[in-house]
Amino acid sequence: MITSTFNHGIEQIDSNEKITDIKLQLTHVNALPSRTEQGIFLIIELGNLVEDVRYSLVSLLGKQIPSYAILHSKGYNISEQVRRSEGTVLIDHLAMELKHFLEQIPLNTKLTYSFQLGFLIHFPIKQNNLYHAEILSWSDRFNCPDLLHRDFIRLFQRSIEHNLENYQINTIICVQESVAALISVAFEYPNTLISLIFKHTFQLSFVENTESLRSKNHHQHAQVRGLYRTILSFNIQNLQSQQARALFQTLLTSVDRYVLQNLSVNYFDVLTCDSCLLEIIRILILELCLHEQFLSYDSWSKSRLNCPGSLCLNFLTYLLQGKYAELQPYLSALGLKGLEKGTLIIIEYICHVIIRRSTQILSCLIVCLSERYNEENITIAIDSYLYRSCPTYQIYMHNEIEHLCKRWITMFHFVNSTNVSYVIIR
């Protein structure tokens, strides 16, 4: 499916013809970092799973190591009244909080009143240029329907000009998480070619030779700058056709379909993303309780296992490492006390089965993309909370990739958002 999508080419903005479920999209980022970038920039991150919004003041340091410094940063969760309101309320709130953030920066930080601003958006977006973004859908926490399919950046820029009269702020770029991950890792590792994010929604971006696009006539109607490489992303949010359903039918269980419907996600999301995997594991444990008397009725019926989203990443991480003593606070929070070791081993086995399936799918995708590059060493920007915190997850994925990849690839280098590296050497 991924390979055929590339052969069909980049999504045409003015075309209503749906050739494939997955569309290639230009990110309008037409070069990797050169390590000469310097200056102080504002960054706004909207829609992260951990916090709703984060403001950061970042200094790019050129060829120094590290190549950037975070001068000041503040993150928080927005009230439900704001994040589920009219679009103007949310946008004006973001602008006013930006003003408060700038006013709280220590006086000893030497700043001007003129800034360039970058926006990192964790929702599916459509872009016509670097400073244009139409949000296509919201997550569970956000819901401002009147902002969908409108130029979010243009509306935010207007609010800045109205509410921050003493500052001159110009929004110069808007990107999604997978593009931001690829760029940030490429600062340190120039051979970064692919980025994968699979926390709540599945995101994939990769570097492509623009001459290759021209030679295949993939890009006749849109302007491409004459640079060697550009960054493309896959739009996987509308993966719902009959062909896609037939393809994934052999992989999906009844529990997968239930989660697919209740979380309003697509096929890639339900099989790979952290939030979906945790929910699948929770439901499988409940199914065992309901049909196989896995736990006593009094134990599970009154527990938080019945609440969606009740399993946390730390619970899964400790369980997969066999650290049963560290599990006790999380079991208590679930209302499950005094579980025997044999019971925990069965739950651990369920977790292994689910994450092994996820890593097999992701490994096939990584190998499929990496084979398109004539490179011996490839760096991949990769991030999910499970991948970051769970050594078992990493081992499964790395072993699968080592087994599948072609012989000319001698090293895969994975770097996650906390800048921790994992290397596969063959």
Task: Give the integer Cα–Cα distance in Å for 311 and 17.
Answer: 41
Q: Domain spanning 2-235 has what CATH number?
A: 3.30.420.40
Q: Decide if pLDDT at 402 tops 90.
A: no
234 beta partners: 24
Within the chain, which residue ranges are assigned CATH 3.40.367.20? Answer: 237-426
- Sign of the four-CA dihedral 18, 22, 26, 30: negative
Q: Where are the beta strands (DSSP E) in 360-410?
A: 377-383
| pLDDT > 80? residue 179 | yes
φ, ψ (nearest 5 deg) of residue 113: -105, 15
For the record, the structure tokens of 125 come out as: 């977006």
List Cα–Cα distances, 385 to 50, 317, 318, 394, in angstroms: 10, 10, 14, 11
Q: Name the residue among 232, 206, 207 with its Cα closest to residue 219.
A: 232
Structure tokens at 104: 């709280």
Segment 392-403 shows an average pLDDT of 89
What pLDDT, on a 0 to 100 scale, did the predictor assign at position 202? 86
DSSP-derived letter for residue 78 is P
For 125-139, what is each residue's pLDDT tens digit? 888 888 899 998 887
Distance from C-alpha of 269 to C-alpha of 412, rounded to nearest angstrom: 24
Question: Helix, strand, or coil here: 342?
Answer: helix
Task: Look up residue 143 and give its two tokens.
Answer: 């819901």
What stretch(es) of the chain map to CATH 3.30.420.40? 2-235
Q: How far apart are CA 385 and CA 364, in angstroms?
A: 20
User: What are 201-254's pLDDT values in tens digits?
Assistant: 888 888 876 555 555 444 444 444 333 456 777 666 556 556 666 677 778 899
Neighbours of 9 (CB within 10 A): 17
User: How does DSSP classify residue 151?
Assistant: B
In 3D space, the residue among 76, 84, 152 whose CA is nearest the CA of residue 119 turns out to be 152
Architecture of the domain defined by 237-426: 3-Layer(aba) Sandwich (3.40)
